[in-house]
Structure 1
């Protein structure tokens, strides 16, 4: 069984874990140590148990805030899925389309006549 060495606050630890879980344990220890270091910077040296308790509580507080944000985002996503925002697409009236087609046909006819005049010219 692999062992992972890490430091939290001012104490070194060694924990065994399942094969393949080393990185997860190291990442968790790094997070806990980050919180512990913040506490030590603000409060100075303190007993190991108190430091671990406070660091764990700070992480739990962050986790709770993230869970609340995730739940809020999920509610918003479900709301948008149930009532998608309406997109208004402009519709060109049929009369304008017909008029533009007619103008295009006239322009082509004029271009054809101008071409004939230039060739005969």
Structure 2
């Protein structure tokens, strides 16, 4: 069984985990360590159990906020799926393309005439 070494606050830990879970354990420990270090930066040294409790509560608070946001996003998605909004996209009629091509040809003919009159 693999073991993972990590630090939380100022204390080193070693835990065993299932094969393939090392990365997940390191990530979780890193999140807990970041909270613990933020607490230590503000409050200074404190007993390990209190530090771990406060860091765990901070992570639980953040997780709760993220769960609320995810639930809100899921409800909004369900609402949009149940009542999709229609979006109208303007379509250029085929005759407009032909009219624009005719105008372009006339403009080129006028430009040619203007060039010829300047060459005289």
Give the structure-1-normalised TM-score: 0.75
Structure 1 residue 10: Cα displacement:
1.1
Rounded to whole Å, the distance in 2 between the matches of 1:76 and 1:16 is: 41
Give the structure 2 partner of residue 19 of structure 1: 19
Corresponding position: 1:49 with 2:49: yes
Give the structure 2 partner of residue 82 of structure 1: 82
Rounded to whole Å, the distance in 2 between the matches of 1:88 and 1:57 is: 49
Structure 1 residue 89: Cα displacement:
3.8
Larger radius of gyration: 1
How many residues align? The count is 100
- The runs of at least 4 consecutive aligned structure 1 residues that moved more than 6 Å come to none
What whole-Å deviation, never above 9, does each CA across 1:32-63 have from its counterpart, x for those lacking one? 00000000000000000000000000000000
Give the structure-2-normalised TM-score: 0.75
Q: Which runs of 5+ in 1 are unaligned?
A: 108-121
RMSD: 2.2
